[in-house]
Structure 1
């Protein structure tokens, strides 16, 4: 079987976010006998129109397109046209075309092709736009345009792979009558390593936030909640992801978060899976106060690894967390987030119980063999 992915798969020269939900599944598929995977994506930094290479048993094709900002004046028509032109020439070589996400206009490029198309839902940009806290911003412009392409072209797709109750409900509204398949994301193997009992060191509790300085991931709410925690106990916050440390401390000053000292926050960039495992082992919990999310990879990784999670009850998160059983849910109010973190600190037995129960559920939910077989079954069903 030959499958073409249209996916935000990082170019081999890229040092940013590793997109593990894509790379982990792609590598597992590439090892299957008789399975031929090609990944198609954009890369504005190319010096030639098309770059192709083989890596880890996968064939990669990158098209040189304008950057998002450069293409904004064309309403993204340049990169859509370049991708559509490539697909018109080569789409018949594949049995299935698999589109990953509806945020990046891949669905516009595949419109009208006479091959089965499957769309895996990542998030729903139209729903993200509804809760974007920025009234006037370039992000709002980008997302408004992306929402237009999502609403126009997703109804033309009739096969979907979904994860949560939330994304299934959104797909049913966007593309009534479509067929919805279920499959979870594949988690990197490092997080399935055995957990050492009582591995959290003594001293002030460490809270982990993996959203960098992303407003939609609750960057501001995290710092406000952390300040509320520090009013009651000495604590440490580790910030992982794309960030600018000065931006973090500038917000602390601007928001008047007087209980946070400079030494209370450690800013890290993107981490490898093993580095994250090490941070998990040193942390009290993962704090995930997102404005909206479908199936956040960070929450899934933490649960598989045995780290308790405090998360906002938005989007598909309650398909991952059964409140009080496999984690703690909260509103976006910083004080409530802080109260849930403090609850874990003051009740170690509760923290251990939540972590253990979540781990059992998550390791079944994200079982690699099951997810791989479901992906293959979906391809066979729709081809």
Structure 2
């Protein structure tokens, strides 16, 4: 079976690509497809230098040339001020790739980008894997007590706002992408997802869509047998960890407010590590100023982006994983924490209730539930064994959920089903 994947990840075409956020699981799945004897694989993606079809190993690559925005700084600034998104008129390039490769099935990752428009240009079945869903995300874009004006009048964002790159401009682009996503949903026939929530969103967006449940593959390092041997027990203080990207709705404000609340409980000795952000990030400074909370004063440490090995070590040296996001589907960060046996406390938003069974494989709290999170952390100090059991149960479920062989088997079966329709 010939499978053509349109994706933002160039896989092994650019081996130096950093896949810490977003691309890691896609590359992991492409690796499985590359090594599946029943599949002949091609990968197509936007590239700032190349546009020539190439063969590397068993894969055919179709880079699609995309003019780098930085080539013309003036046009870039104007485009950012106008909140321009990628040119949607890429159908000609996509059709050329399809006609050259002649696939049996086309795989697209995410409804967020221009690739999800492909189905209206071809009769070949297109399977779009749901990732973040922009319309419900946009509905929850600004946290409580925040609006675009908070960021427009923040001196820390002065340069970004002048250049059209501040959060309010990002929100405009996000909205335009969400409108494009809604339009593309109308033409989709087949989608795959992994939570009850993304199934609901897909069917509300297009009642005629056919939905398939396909789980996601984690990064290869999380499948190593001896990972848990590195786990350490903490005695002096509770080690809490979260993974946060510089995105408004990811809940950095929830962390700071919860940490302040915990700090007021003098009996709780804790340290909260944030992976993915530096302390001098404008995003961090904004929320510290707006909330009048200094991360140093509430035992929060920002560790920045970590390589895979260091990232895993930080998790294994922690007692609890907190996911404070206002909206998410099935965040890989939570799945990675679960597969390492770390007890997870997460806001019950989006698809989290599918991957966490409350009080069985983790704990769910309301959105912005700072009192509930603080309470569970306090409970941990009284009876850590209960939480460790949640971590064990969460790991057992995660090992089943992210079984590579089962995921590949299910995906191939879906390919066969839709190729006959």
State TM-score, norm by structure 1.
0.90
1:347 is matched with: 383
Q: Distance in 2 between matches of 1:5 and 1:94?
A: 10
- Tell me, yes or no, if the aligned pair for 2:46 and 2:65 is still in contact at 8 Å: yes
2:42 counterpart of 1:47: no
Query: How far off its partner does 1:74 sit?
Result: 9.2
The aligned residue for residue 155 of structure 2 is none
Moved more, 245-254 or 138-147: 245-254
CA, structure 1 residues 213+150, in 2 after alignment: closer, same or farther (shift >3 Å)? closer
> CA shift at 1:346, angstroms?
2.7
Counterpart mapping for 1:174-253 below 5 A: 174-192=205-223, 193-194=225-226, 195-196=228-229, 199-232=232-265, 233-243=268-278, 245-247=280-282, 248=284, 251-252=287-288
Q: Are 2:161 and 1:154 equivalent residues in the alignment? A: no
Q: Which 5+ residue runs of structure 2 have no aligned equivalent?
A: 70-74, 149-167
**Corresponding residue for residue 153 of structure 2:** none
Contact 2:244 2:274 (8 Å CA) reproduced: yes
Distance 1:67 1:352, change over 3 A: same
1:89 Cα deviation after fit: 1.5
Q: Cα 1:339–1:156, aligned 2, differ >3 Å: closer, same or farther?
A: same
Deviations 1:21-76 (A, max 9, x none): 20111111111114222222223xx235x255566754433323256894665954
Aligned length: 377
Could you tell me which residue of structure 2 aligns to residue 17 of structure 1?
20
Give the structure 1 partner of residue 95 of structure 2: 88
Matches within 5 A, 1:312-323: 312-323=347-358
1:159–1:356 CA distance, 2 compared to 1 (3 A): same
| Corresponding position of 1:62 | 63
The whole-number CA distance in structure 1 between the counterparts of 2:122 and 2:281 is 48
| Cα contact 2:83–2:172 (8 A) shared by 1 | no
Shift of the 354–74 alpha-carbon distance from structure 1 to 2, 3 Å rule, reads closer
Q: 1:326 to 1:197 in 2, by over 3 A?
A: farther
Q: 1:198 to 1:145 in 2, by over 3 A?
A: closer
Using a 3 Å threshold, how does the CA distance of structure 1 residues 85 and 132 change in structure 2: closer, same or farther?
same
Q: Indicate if the aligned counterparts of 1:28 and 1:372 stay in contact, CA closer than 8 A.
A: yes
